[in-house]
Amino acid sequence: MKKKIGLSLFAVLVIAIAIMGTVAYFSKSFTSEDNIAAAAIFDVDVVNKDGKTIGNAEFNLGDKLYPGMKPIEAYSFIINKNNTEVPVEYKVQLTPSGNLFPEAGGSPIAISLKKEVGGVWVDVDYSTSFKPSNDNEQFKILVDWPHGDNDIDFQGKTGSIKLEVVATQVDGDEEPGETDPGNPNEIQGVVVNTVEGEEASEGKSEIVVFDFGEGKPSGGNSGWNFSYNDGAGVDAIIRQTIYDYLPPEENRFDGVRLAKNLVDNINESRIAAWMNFKAAWDLRNEGSKVIFTSKEKKDYNVKITISYSNQGHPNIPENQINEQDGSPAHPGVKQVSTLTIHGTVHKDGPHAVSFSDGTENMTKTINLVKADTPASIAAKIANEFGDLQGWNVKNSEGSADVVFTAKAAAANKEIAITF
């Protein structure tokens, strides 16, 4: 009897285990299909002034280049970011080649690239990359030929200029607190020349020369007419007669004697006209040359003529020779360059700032704190660089600009400030 009960209990236990093995817990499932994944847009374009994508042979300078020319704008273009959705940086490269641009250097042609920043055109180093600060970045290429010692070596030579613009995706800006531990503060400065410097110069006198060369008029009485108009109200005609009592065959008056005789005797007639002339001009002879030099240093539109009334006239030039144009003294212009501060301080500590203008070099250390703004950083920089020898440095309260004004008028200098 006990044996049967044991079997029954075992059967119940097996049934119970089987039932427990099939029990289900609460459960739900969700499905979302047809989800769209799309790559970001990279839509940078470089266009010319007509809005068309640039191509080959966009500009042709032809025979427009010569020593002493004024800088000309060879080409202008715009880099459009368009609908680009990823961080990007640009690199603009200008590569000259050909006989006009020897690989070893020494070309007299100067090529510069300028970028529009805040309404001002500033020089750009086209060997470095930079991130765009605007959706549209405007550039222009200038070409110049300053006077040099080897200009004649390049006459008639030709060359070409390759323009290449490369747009490249870069990593996005890191959030505050995740910056490079070795350079935790992202401080930048942009330098713009707001006033171009010009060197002061002394005024120059006008110098006009007549050279009689080997001229030999016949003997006898020789009549001269001398007239001038210097564009400043001095206008007169002076007539004189040079007496030659030697026989014609002795040819007394060669070019040297002609020049000396004219200078020695020009004041013998029309005294009033001569006095007006003498007040404004110095007159002297040097060999066969008669040299007129203005006493005042200014711009002139001078016209001087000398005519000889005898048939046996000497070699008198048809027009005057302007050896030197008159010019007033130029006081020059003091260069003004403005440094504008951008960026954020993420970590307190010292920060090195270096200044260079090609002649003067200086490095200062400023202490930054997280509360610093671009304006307060600009104030600290202005205070530290107040002892520059060639510059007055100023910052206006609340401004992120540091203004460097040259203490003396001089040719423009390229200022570099690094952090």
- Per the CB < 8 A criterion, the answer to whether 369 and 344 are in contact is no
Q: By three-state DSSP, how is residue 261 classified?
A: helix
For residues 120 and 192, give the distance between their C-alpha atoms in angstroms, rounded to a whole number.
Answer: 7
Check residue 370 and give its pLDDT: 83
**pLDDT per residue as tens digits for the range 268-310:** 556 677 777 788 888 898 988 889 898 989 887 777 777 665 5
Boundary of a domain, candidates 172, 195, 219: 172
The answer to whether residues 283 and 247 belong to one domain is yes
Tokens matching residue 297: 């240093």
Range of the domain at 372: 336-418
The answer to whether residues 237 and 285 belong to one domain is yes
**pLDDT per residue as tens digits for the range 95-130:** 888 888 888 778 888 888 887 765 666 676 666 667
Check residue 342 and give its pLDDT: 84
Q: Is the pLDDT of residue 353 over 50?
A: yes
**pLDDT per residue as tens digits for the range 213-255:** 766 555 555 556 666 666 655 555 565 555 454 455 555 556 7
For residues 262 and 224, give the distance between their C-alpha atoms in angstroms, rounded to a whole number.
Answer: 8
Check residue 71 and give its pLDDT: 83
For residues 286 and 259, give the distance between their C-alpha atoms in angstroms, rounded to a whole number.
Answer: 8
- Per the CB < 8 A criterion, the answer to whether 414 and 357 are in contact is yes
Q: Binning pLDDT at 50, 70 and 90, where does residue 68 land? A: confident
Q: Where are the beta strands (DSSP E) in 345-400?
A: 349-356, 361-368, 391-394
Question: To which residue do tokens 């003396």 refer?
Answer: 408
Is residue 229 in some structural domain? Answer: yes
Q: By three-state DSSP, how is residue 224 classified?
A: strand
Beta-bridge partners for 225: 239, 307
Model confidence, pTM: 0.45
Boundary of a domain, candidates 145, 172, 199: 172
Q: How many domains does the chain have?
A: 3
In terms of C-beta density within 10 A (0-12 exposed, 13-18 middle, 19 or more buried), how is residue 139 classed?
Answer: buried
For residues 242 and 266, give the distance between their C-alpha atoms in angstroms, rounded to a whole number.
Answer: 9
Q: By three-state DSSP, how is residue 189 classified?
A: strand
Is residue 280 in some structural domain? Answer: yes
Is residue 274 in some structural domain? Answer: yes
